[in-house]
Structure 1
Amino acid sequence: RPLPRSRPVRLHIPKISVDAPFTPLEVGATGQLEAPPPNDVNLVGWHSDGATPGETGTAIIAGHVDTATSPAVFAQLGALAKGDVFDVVRADGRKANFVVDDVETFAKDNFPDERVYADAKRPEVRLITCAGDYDHTAKDYTDNLVVFGHLI
């Protein structure tokens, strides 16, 4: 059952030892979701103008794979597989439990916006990080890794 709107507080992904606080993220001037601040390697962000985790719709959670100095919160995100579980602790004290439906990598220059960001009729979540090769000229990775999940 969907949960009411409530700000996410912590993300727990036991399989990859993630226990991270949230920060709100907005869509920037380029039309892309801003990334969490790079100075905290154990921080995830959520699209604060979208659905909150557990609410009907598609909640977007983003985290860094690494920084210039070390691996970051989503360094092992690609190890998740269909059937793995994770949860989001919310400001209302409830815990939204999710199961992984799929894990896919997409080229950033051919990213399926509609598939990843489209509003869902049930509570869904997307965990997103960088993947692929690092382009030193662009100072960015070539791909995005997306974990698709839904509330259980």
Structure 2
Amino acid sequence: MPPARLPRPARLARLGLVVPAVLIVLTVLAGCSSAPDTAAHASANSPNSPNSVSSPSSSAAAGAPSPGAPAAEQSAPPAEVAIPSIGITSSLMELGLNADGTVEVPPAEKGMTAGWYTGGAVPGDVGAAVIIGHNDTHLGKAVFHDLRKIVKGAEITVTDDQGEAAHFTVTGKESVSKTAFPTAKVYGPTGDRALRLITCDGDFDAQGHPVNNLIVYATLN
């Protein structure tokens, strides 16, 4: 069963200059799963699962309107992401938060489907839009397995459920330890129309879980 749908985020154009006083930085385990040959596989929504993603739990840190902010026009949610240069095309499911405040990721059985985090911006709006996908699951290679091959200048297209396409250009990428995930940089407020793609990366630990996250940064053309 797909994760519970959260309310679609409001258009963030009016929020580009809203900077929270405190941004909670937590360990992030994004779009991850055990290696295909690992014996034990944690539940995708378990607090201790390699498939859980921690993020700022406050509404301000997630880029949502602060209390009392006027309602803003809603944008159409994204339906598909495509990266032609590395042969990736995927429909997008909606991802919210687990009960423990970690960000949902697609379940392992939907490893070939990426997900849009509804607590961030709609791709193409002002703010940080975040798309998460698995690298591998216990079922094999997953949607973002080849994401590490992406290069600066590559194009990423996100199409909404009305058929409107937003075109982004990759500005950089980095592989970071999950114990030092740059939460503010990825999820924090920005005046750019930004896109971040996240998956797992790096070597495996003793339990067969990747120790790093790969983060791809892109901006709207």
What TM-score do the two structures reach when normalised by structure 1?
Answer: 0.92
Residue 137 of structure 2 aligns to a residue in which SS? coil
Q: 1:64 aligns with which of 111, 125, 134?
A: 134
Write out per-residue CA displacement over residues 98-135 of structure 1, whole angstroms, 9 at most, x where no aligned residue: 00000100100011111111122121000000111122
Aligned-residue RMSD, C-alpha:
1.5
Say whether the 8 Å CA contact 1:5–1:51 is kept in structure 2: no
Say whether the 8 Å CA contact 2:120–2:187 is kept in structure 1: no
Partners in 1 of 2:212 and 2:185 — Cα distance? Answer: 16
What TM-score do the two structures reach when normalised by structure 2?
Answer: 0.64
Number of equivalent positions: 149
Partners in 1 of 2:84 and 2:77 — Cα distance? Answer: 21
Partners in 1 of 2:189 and 2:163 — Cα distance? Answer: 25
Q: Which one-letter code corresponds to 1:144 in the other structure? A: N
Partners in 2 of 1:143 and 1:35 — Cα distance? Answer: 16
- Could you say which structure has the higher strand fraction? 1
Residue 39 of structure 1 aligns to a residue in which SS? helix
Say whether the 8 Å CA contact 2:199–2:215 is kept in structure 1: yes
Say whether the 8 Å CA contact 1:26–1:48 is kept in structure 2: yes
Cα deviation for residue 9 of structure 1 reads 0.6
Matching of residues 2-151 of structure 1 within 5 Å = 5-137=75-207, 139-151=208-220
Q: Which one-letter code corresponds to 1:38 in the other structure? A: A
Q: Which one-letter code corresponds to 1:13 in the other structure? A: I
Gaps of 5+ in 1: none
Structure 1 outlier segments of 4+, above 6 Å: none
Q: Find the structure with the greater CA-based Rg.
A: 2
Cα deviation for residue 136 of structure 1 reads 4.1
